[in-house]
Structure 1
Amino acid sequence: MSLPTEQEADMRVGALYCACPASLPRANVTDNRLTLAAGFGLAVLAQALVLTVLPEQSRLIAPTVARIGWPFALMLIGAALASFPAAMLVDSFGRRAAFGLGASLGAAGGALAAFAITKGNFFGLCLGAFWLGLAQGFALFYRHIAAQGSAQGSLTVLAGGAVAALLSPLVVALAGSPALTLLAASGLHIAALGLAVRMPHALGHAAAPSQANRLSRGFVVATIAGAFAWFVMSAGMLHGPLTLAVCAAGPAFIGGAMGWHLFSMYGPAAIASWLPGLFPPLPALGVGAVVMIAGASGVYAGASVAGVTLGLLAIGVGWGVMNVSALRLLHDSARPSRTALALHDLCLLGAAAAGALVF
Structure 2
Amino acid sequence: MTSQQSQHDKTPSLPDAYAAAASVATGKRNAAVLAVCQGLFTCAISIDLTLTALTGWQLAPDKSLATLPFALITVAGAVVTWFAAFLIQRLGRRLSFALGAASCCAGGLISVWSVFHGHFWTFCAGTALVGVFQAFAQYYRLAAADAVTDEFKSRAISTVLTGGVIAAIIGPALAAWSKDLFPAALFSGAYLVVAAMGLLSVLVLLLFYRDMAALPAATGVQAAHAPPRPLGAIVRTPVFVASVANNVAGSMIMMFIMTAAPLAAVACHHGIDDGAAIIQWHLIGMYAPSFFAGRLIKRFGLGAVLLAGLALNLACAVTAMASTSLPAFYAALLFLGVGWNFSLVGGTTLLAQSYAPSERAKTQGFSELLRYGATALATLGAGPLLARFGWETLNAAILPVLLLCALATGRWMLAERANRPQALRGLG
Superposition map of 1:110-121 within 5 A? 110-121=108-119
Return 5+ residue gaps in structure 1 as ranges. 1-24
Highest relative contact order (Cα 8 Å, sep 6+), 1 or 2? 1
Q: Is the 8 A contact 2:296 2:305 kept in 1?
A: no
Correspondence 1:61-76 to 2 at 5 A? 61-62=59-60, 67-76=65-74
Spell out the pairing of 1:179-328 with structure 2 (5 A cutoff).
179-200=188-209, 202=211, 209-213=226-230, 214-215=233-234, 216-244=237-265, 247=269, 249-250=271-272, 254-277=275-298, 280-295=301-316, 303-328=324-349
- The answer as to 2:99 corresponding to 1:96 is no
Change (3 A) 1:340 1:52: same
Runs of 5+ consecutive residues of structure 2 not aligned to the other structure:
1-18, 181-186, 217-223, 383-428
Measured against aligned partners, the alpha-carbon deviations of 1:42-84 in whole angstroms (never above 9, x if no partner) come to 1112111211112333455545565444223211122222223
| 1:347 match | 370
TM-score by length of 2: 0.68
The structure with the largest alpha-carbon Rg is 2
- 8 Å contact 1:103–1:190 — kept in the other structure? yes
The alpha-carbon distance between structure 1 residues 58 and 173, as it changes in their structure 2 partners (threshold 3 A), is closer
Deviations 1:65-113 (A, max 9, x none): 6544422321112222222332223222222210111111111212323
The answer (yes or no) to whether the contact 1:94–1:201 under 8 Å persists in 2 is: no
Distance 1:275 1:333, change over 3 A: same
CA shift at 1:248, angstroms? 6.4
The structure-2 alpha-carbon separation of the partners of 1:299 and 1:208, relative to structure 1 and needing over 3 Å to count, comes to farther
- 1:183: how far off? 2.0
Question: Partner of 2:162: helix, strand, or coil?
Answer: helix
- The CA deviation string for residues 103-140 of structure 1, in whole angstroms up to 9 with x for no partner, is 11111212323443455543233222211111011111
Q: Distance in 1 between matches of 2:265 and 2:293?
A: 31
> Equivalent of 1:356, from 379, 387, 398?
379
Question: Structure 1's 94 and 353: CA in aligned 2 closer, same or farther, altered over 3 A?
Answer: same
Query: Which amino acid is 1:133 matched to?
Result: G
When the two chains are superposed, the root-mean-square deviation of aligned CA atoms in Å is 3.1
Percent identity at matched positions?
26
**8 Å Cα contact 1:162-1:270 kept in structure 2:** no
SS at match of 1:268: helix
Q: Tell me how far 1:28 sits from its aligned partner.
A: 7.0
Q: Would you say the 8 A contact 2:73–2:131 is kept in 1?
A: yes
1:255 and 1:288 mapped to 2: Cα distance? 24
Secondary structure class of the residue paired with 1:343 = helix
Task: Note if contact 1:52-1:254 (Cα within 8 Å) is conserved in structure 2.
Answer: no
Distance in 2, matches of 1:301 and 1:58, equals 34
Output the CA distance in 1 between the equivalents of 2:171 and 2:251.
Answer: 21
Of 106, 116, 119, the match for 2:104: 106
Instruction: Report deviation, 1:305.
Output: 4.7
CA positional deviation for 1:333: 5.4
- Amino acid across the alignment from 1:45: C
Shift of 1:352: 0.5
Partner of 2:414: none
Number of residues paired by the alignment?
334
Counterpart of 1:151? 154
Give TM-score scaled by structure 1 length. Answer: 0.80
Preserved contact between residue 278 and residue 329 of structure 2 (Cα < 8 Å)? no
Does the CA-based 8 Å contact 1:55-1:238 persist in structure 2?
Answer: no
